[in-house]
Structure 1
């Protein structure tokens, strides 16, 4: 469970981090006002909407990229986050927490793979548990980043004075959570579950001790008599090994 859930959670959180759909907003925009958002020489005929009086504008923001798209058209433009949104301390906090989470989760998965040692009979329990602990911490950090971002989703980048001086640069959008947030929530929960499984699954084995087999070899793991089963008719013949 830990070996499967931890990498899957890492992939989902990484996917959420690099995609720009953390929040999304839509607004109706008249075709006459679209010219200010288009590059010079771009006409409405290229959008395939020459008979439409208004367009549906979709704005999406992520941690490192923002996009602007006209629905039902091929017009889409993306750019690195900038301005008040980039300088918002809550966005910077989310970026730092996500990057730290990805690093810790990757390190924890490497330690877990070394500790589990599927190619041997006995795992390295301490190493595997340490990897699980790192994965749990990574999941908690990403959950914190997602919680901070979601709680302040509508206010991110909206409190800077420079934003108030250009109130009509973009139409007012009603922002709501987008798909990348859901990927992040799912991946973070899988990280926590996988880390907990690794942390508590490798307990010290309990070997049964039999008073009738005091002459049998001692288990090197738990220092007790090897479990020979319930069969009492076991051949107890001793062999002398000469070197």
Structure 2
């Protein structure tokens, strides 16, 4: 039970962090901003000064996409702008499926943790094992849903929100992005695995522990704390010893 109520919330935090961060996939595009041999002039009336540039300066843009937010940043610069997902990426049915699975996973995991935490042994003398195990079942289901969402997104990572390949080839203004998995995906995978481990540990609550029986009375179980017969430990008379230093 302790293993379950430690791993399940940790997995929930990691999956929630992955859901709200915009680093599910990343890509970069290299743009030329100055042509070779360009001439820059400045000066007053009747006077001029020319500076010829003989190299091409490249501007590298870093693009990152998440479930609800996209960001664009200039490499080696503090210039960064983020905005809610729009366009083809937002309308992609595979992205909508991933969003729905992640939200459902977060809800089920939170509900399972609440059920498990209020009914485990740490806060009550007699734990409700059925309720705690039901919470574990919800946590396992949440882990399966988040793993499914991550699998769908990873499998279609390079195709989410992308136009038809024929249009990209015929349109020279569309810059190619080499997309690859980013940090939020790894947070999600780790959190989903922890949810599975925590929920599986709580599922063992369905199995009730078997205590040894009292030799003098087989029908009475032995106290699991003192390992003695209840008919002896329940006697009102006890011996008290005073120890002085």
TM-score range, shorter chain: 0.7 to 0.9
The alpha carbon displacement at 1:224 in A equals 3.2
**Residues 3 and 167 of structure 1: is their aligned pair in 2 closer, same or farther, counting only changes over 3 Å?**
farther
Asked if structure 1 preserves the Cα contact closer than 8 Å seen for 2:34 and 2:56, the reply is no
Q: Give the secondary structure class of the aligned counterpart of 2:119.
A: helix
The 1:151–1:56 alpha-carbon spacing in structure 2 relative to 1, beyond 3 Å, is: same
What is the CA–CA distance in structure 2 between the aligned matches of 1:237 and 1:126, rounded to whole Å? Answer: 29
Give the structure 1 partner of residue 222 of structure 2: 226
- SS of match in other structure, 2:118: helix
Which residue in the other structure is 1:28 paired with?
A: 30
The correspondence for 1:111, drawn from 89, 111, 115, is: 115
What do you get for the CA RMSD once the two structures are aligned? 2.9
Structure 1 CA distance for aligned equivalents of residues 232 and 27 of structure 2: 77
TM-aligned CA deviation for residue 74 of structure 1: 1.3
5+ residue gaps, structure 2, are 36-54, 238-245
Q: Does 1:128 align with 2:132?
A: yes
Displacement of 1:28 after TM fit?
Answer: 1.1
Name which one, 1 or 2, has greater alpha-carbon Rg: 2
Q: Is the 8 A contact 2:22 2:71 kept in 1?
A: yes
Write the distance in 2 (CA, Å) between the matches of 1:182 and 1:104.
21
Judging changes above 3 Å, is the alpha-carbon distance between structure 1 residues 130 and 69 closer, same or farther for their aligned structure 2 residues?
same
Structure 1, gaps ≥5 residues long: 34-50, 215-222
Q: CA deviation at 1:52?
A: 7.5
* Length, aligned pairs only: 212
Map Cα deviations across residues 195-231 of structure 1 (whole Å, 9 max, x no partner).
00011145312122234137xxxxxxxx733346479
For 1:75 and 1:235, the matched residues in 2 are separated by 76
Measure, in 2, the Cα distance between the counterparts of 1:105 and 1:98: 10
Tell me the residue number matched to 2:74: 70
Question: If the length of structure 1 is used for normalisation, what is the TM-score?
Answer: 0.78
Q: Residues 1-243 of structure 1 correspond to what in structure 2 (within 5 A)?
A: 1-32=3-34, 53-159=57-163, 167=171, 171-201=175-205, 203-213=207-217, 224-227=220-223, 229=227
Q: 1:205 to 1:155 in 2, by over 3 A?
A: same
Report the counterpart of residue 219 of structure 1 in structure 2: none
CA contact 1:132–1:199 (8 Å) conserved in 2: yes
TM-score, normalised relative to structure 2: 0.77
Q: How far did residue 2 of structure 1 move? A: 0.7
Find the aligned partners of 2:61 and 2:180 in 1 and give their Cα distance. Answer: 14
Looking at structure 1, the residues matched to 14 and 215 of structure 2 have their Cα atoms a distance apart, in angstroms, of: 53
